[in-house]
Chain A
Amino acid sequence: MPAFATPQNAQRRLQPILRSKLIARLTTPHGVDRYLEQIDPLWSAFETRARVTEVTRQTADTVTLRLQPNANWQGFVPGQYLQLSVDIDGRRYTRCFSPANSCHAKDGHIELTARINPEGTLTRHLRDHAHAGMIVGLSQAAGDFALPAQRPERILLISGGSGITPVMSMLRSLCDEGHRGPITFLHYARSKEDQLYTEELEQLAARHANVTLLRSYEQGAGELYGRFSREQLESAAPDYADATTFLCGPPPMMAAVEAVWAADGLNAQLHRERFVVAASAPATAETTGGELRFVRSERLAVSDGATLLEQAEAAGLRPDYGCRMGICHACSCRKTTGRVRDIRDGRLSGDGEEDIQLCVSQPVGSVTLEL
């Protein structure tokens, strides 16, 4: 724990000074944040960071964090996501999560629930090591999956598994706002034990007459039975065509819902969020054939197996480079998705955002570069 924490509003009052040109000049070239963080990691003129204030485990394979963000957090719209960064054994890992809390929470806290991915470094670390007092990095909230400013009258929320978090935020926010229109909350889980926010959902439904809670479990009874189907939907929410629908869950469930909306020509009323990123190439895949996406220059190429530097040049780009043998780092570049293999030692990179050296990296599957 740092020596002292500063209340958010005191920090906000100081912000204009900390962000002033004079302070920037006095702290050149490092910048004021590199000094402030030595006193308290939450002190920052520009960066968003948060302290974990509470860790709970609602189900066997999830962990829920309550976060106190610093003054730079600008809030979020229910449904949006943020990027959470955690240092694990010296390396920074970043993953996306949707806040599950109401956007009207008075204490300014953020609540995130992560499902533990048995292969995932970050979520396993949170399961084993998340504790009150831990400091994490945050991005500002982003994403189009969000409640519109003009709230729709009739709202249908459909979620599965841990896909409940963004729609939970929508439901909690709407209840806090005293939304009058009918809200149907349709949720799919393996069993009652696997369901997140059980008690709170029941309380919300009991307290708000316009909220209908419908749950379906694979094992055991809920308000509904079985997987999503048109028949089930027509009995649960017969007016679904009049509703603005928000959908988030595992791919098979989402596909089933999307098929119904597509068949009825209702795509414009269906908002969806995918939690699962497109599967990354397995470690044994060839380095050819994947798609290379150069984001800044808006170019695409199909990998021919050469190094990324050579392929970028072949695509007509002029990335900065030096030694072309991996020692000078002149060609360091941000990779936003995909995996690369280091030609010097065959090491395979992670599939998240990280800096790589173009001259000694071959793509493994599809790769997106900030180039």
Chain B
Amino acid sequence: MQKLIALYALILSLIILPSCKDAQNPSKETAMEPQFGGNVTVGISSDVDVLNPLFSQDIISGTINDLIFGALNYSEFDLEKGELVYLPNLANSWEISPDNRSVKYHLNIALRWSDGYKFTADDVQFSYYLYTHPEVGSVRQDMTSYFISEGKTKVEIEKAVKVENDSTVVFNFNQSADDPLFVSGLPILPKHIFEKIKLKDLFVNDVNQNPVGIGPFKFQKWDKQQQIILVRNDSVNYIKIPYLEKLTFKILPDYNNRINQLKSGEIDLAQNLRPEDAQTIKKDFNKLNVEKISGRDYDYIGWNCIDHEQFVNSGNKKITPHKLFGDSKVRQALTYAINRKEMLEGFFGEFGNIAVTPISSIFKTKANTDLLPYEFNPNKAKQLLSESGWKDSNDDKIIDKNGIPFKFKLMIPAGKPQREYAATIIKINLLAVGIEVEIEVVEPSVFFENMFTKKYDAWIAGWTIPLDLDFEGFWSSDLEKNFFNVTSYQNKEVDEIFAKLKLTNDIEATRELLFRFQEILHRDQPTTFLYWVDNLVGYNVRLKNLQLNPLAFTNRAWEWFVVSEK
């Protein structure tokens, strides 16, 4: 048996150990003239769901849809300014009314759909008719809550998206929109194709697999579970004609396979590399480079603030504080007791940052940088716990209060090694202050069902933060309405902040409100914010002009070009 184990170890080490080359970082790119032509292959971890922005859910589908379909404006995150900026796209220009209640777009009607049909203002109105119609059931419907509507659900499309003439469309909102360009920036769909399909059949129609759009790339082919091929869209009078001839998304579910193909040159780009691979690649492969996208994703420990059982048994009425985590002082103590620096250094190396609030530092004007992370301080944690009445009264090394020992299960969804690593550190750290933690890894579907129904006491998960920084669904007190408020945190002042944010579009006032919101969360610690996870993108250096953006790694993919290898 031991021999067998030794054999496995040998085989494994052969597979894992990378072939060592001269350590040399890729030389800094010199300015290079872009050239037309060339194919680029991107490795992705799973197949896309649908190629239709009405229904696409996962991030990679959205990314590919954005290359095939265009919106009236093109948005990207300006890292200098720390906010979203908008550039002309299907519309050449626009005017926003001073009260933020309407936007007038002037369309570029010289454009044509990839099947040759003319692009008109009717396409815009019809697209929003589909996005807002309850019978379609678009997943983007939540972005149209500002649109003028009769009653609660049905949007009055003629008024909300008014066609003035062939090239002019006006969006009208029933209140001042936080970001009018964001809500009017959904991908536009071809009316001449969609009007032929019954609304209720859209969900399962073939059109979801064969998109026609106006984007920098044209859809060519989708081999399920294999690849999606896009080709340059040069058939239209379009400002974004790509340099690349062909852009292929190759579906490679096995992580090691993706990395191997990146190393062998079979694919040119892969994202979400593990930190250890990013380091090896940077060191040992001079034809590969790694860059990171920061500030969108964080991991946290959720503490259930209320007693879930009593809440459910009382018909979602009775709010009683959770017996362990109901007290904010206890939650502060838990954050003090956990060594987040060790998690970062041990797992992420140079890739990642400690998280303090749900707004990362890439939002330069909105992140409250006055708030410092809770330091790792077990003594402070013990003191806070003892002030809240948690003491080891029976000398079993576990603190207790009213006869209840401080023990709980920490749940984590399977599949993210970083969370298992963090959980181990948490278990050790908390034991040092007299708290016993049992870690349980759960299959993701089961995990998320229980997390959303608030059955867990404590768990580790992550969020991707919305770029419009609208946090109401995550943190406001109405537990029945906002089931994304998974910790059941309730605070009146936070609710007031959300109400005020809706009424103002003054930049300074918005900033102050968001600063106060972060202060309150920082004080109450309904979750222990762990770290911001960098998306590590590895790519072949033959691929030039990559412009990674928190919005997407394919940002400005029409500007990508390749140079032939020497």
A binds B: no
